[in-house]
Amino acid sequence: MQTTAKSVLYRVYALLLFMAFSHGKDLFNDNGNLQLPDSYNIGWMEAIKDDKFLSDITIPGTHDTMALYGGPLAECQAWNLNDQLRAGIRYLDLRIFALENKLYIMHGVVYQHTSFIDVLDTIRAFLSEFPSEMVLVRVKPDLFDKDNVEKMVEKIVSNDKNVWVKSVMPTMGKARGKIVFVQKSSFKLGVPLLETDTKGDYEVTHIADKENTIDKCLTQAAEDTGRDKIVLSYSSGTGVGTFWGMFLTPKKVSEKIDPWLDQYLRRFFNDHPGSCLGVIAMDFPGIDLIQEVIQFNK
């Protein structure tokens, strides 16, 4: 009985701490209008030493970066690409469909009102303004004619000296001002990618189970970073398509997970100083959650 009472008190105390730290912070954001404080450090990678490899950096990213359209079942982000970059996002997850001679950005069967060329133009404009930064880009061929996506991407970027398509891991100094592609399975341009998630981890039927999955993935990430691969973990998820979680859209999952993730990262940072967690790809992150990820590089 005494042990049970202590457990209850501990949970209440943890909840109070969570509420105190989270109050007033921008952790989950579904507002499409980005508002940055005047003191916000957009070019946060300027502080990273030139000799540090990208695989040694903790990087905030977005899952299904361009999924702004399609309703609650499909939408994973609220900010447009330029706003995501200005907020500190440095890993982009692009789903691309090749049709004739053009590459379209998709989320499943939902067209996201832009093309791959438009995305590249936005990134280039950002890097021109903030040359201290670099942007990781993952391309996932989607729908039909998947084999043609890589060939078309390679043709588009072939003469661009500010695009990194080699498999060798660059240092921050070599990557500044560049778009760095990451490769996995159906897309072979760029540096290798290692995902901590296993098949089905994106399916969420209970939020507590998703928290345990993220814990497992980030613990593994801390062990695997610093090698010849970019390590990627997801905090995103959806219950759409499952029975028990059918009402857990990406937004509803993020509304619960993003504040929890902020507290998790705080504890991890204090318990494991000097750790690197690789890339954390999120849905609907707020600027304070993004800053908590960046904090690992200090």
DSSP 246: T
pLDDT tier, 214 (very low <50, low <70, confident <90, very high otherwise): very high
Least confident of 48-62, 132-146, 208-222: 132-146
Residue 210 has pLDDT above 70, yes or no: yes
pLDDT digits (tens, 9 = 90+) for 158-188: 999 999 999 999 999 999 999 999 998 889 9
Average pLDDT along the chain: 92
CA distance 212 to 223: 17
DSSP 46: G
**E runs forming strands in the chain:** 59-62, 91-99, 102-107, 110-115, 135-141, 163-164, 179-183, 191-195, 230-234, 279-282
* Contact of 104 with 116, CB cutoff 8 Å: yes
Tell the burial category of 51 from Cβ atoms under 10 Å away from its Cβ (0-12, 13-18, 19+). Answer: exposed
Residue 239 has pLDDT above 70, yes or no: yes
pLDDT at 40: 98
Residue 12 has pLDDT above 60, yes or no: no
Residue 38 has pLDDT above 50, yes or no: yes
CA distance 1 to 22: 32
Residue 56 has pLDDT above 60, yes or no: yes
Percent of the chain with pLDDT over 70: 92
Provide the whole-model pTM.
Answer: 0.92
Residue 147 has pLDDT above 90, yes or no: no
Biggest CA pair distance of the chain: 70
Residue 87 has pLDDT above 60, yes or no: yes
DSSP 56: G
* pLDDT top residue among 253 and 142: 253
Cβ neighbors of 129 (< 8 A, separation 6 or more) are none
pLDDT at 244: 87
* pLDDT top residue among 71 and 21: 71
pLDDT at 7: 47
Consecutive H or E run containing 78: none
Task: Return phi, psi of residue 49, to 5°.
Answer: -65, 145
Consecutive H or E run containing 186: none
Terminal-residue alpha carbon distance, the chain: 44
* Contact of 103 with 152, CB cutoff 8 Å: yes
pLDDT at 203: 95
Going along the chain from its start, the domains and CATH numbers come out as 49-297 (3.20.20.190)
pLDDT tier, 15 (very low <50, low <70, confident <90, very high otherwise): very low
The set of long-range contacts for 21-25, using a CB threshold of 8 Å and a minimum separation of 24, is 21/262, 21/263, 21/266, 22/259, 22/262, 22/263, 25/259, 25/262, 25/286, 25/288
pLDDT digits (tens, 9 = 90+) for 112-124: 999 999 999 999 9
**What is the Cα 58 distance to its own chain's centre?**
11
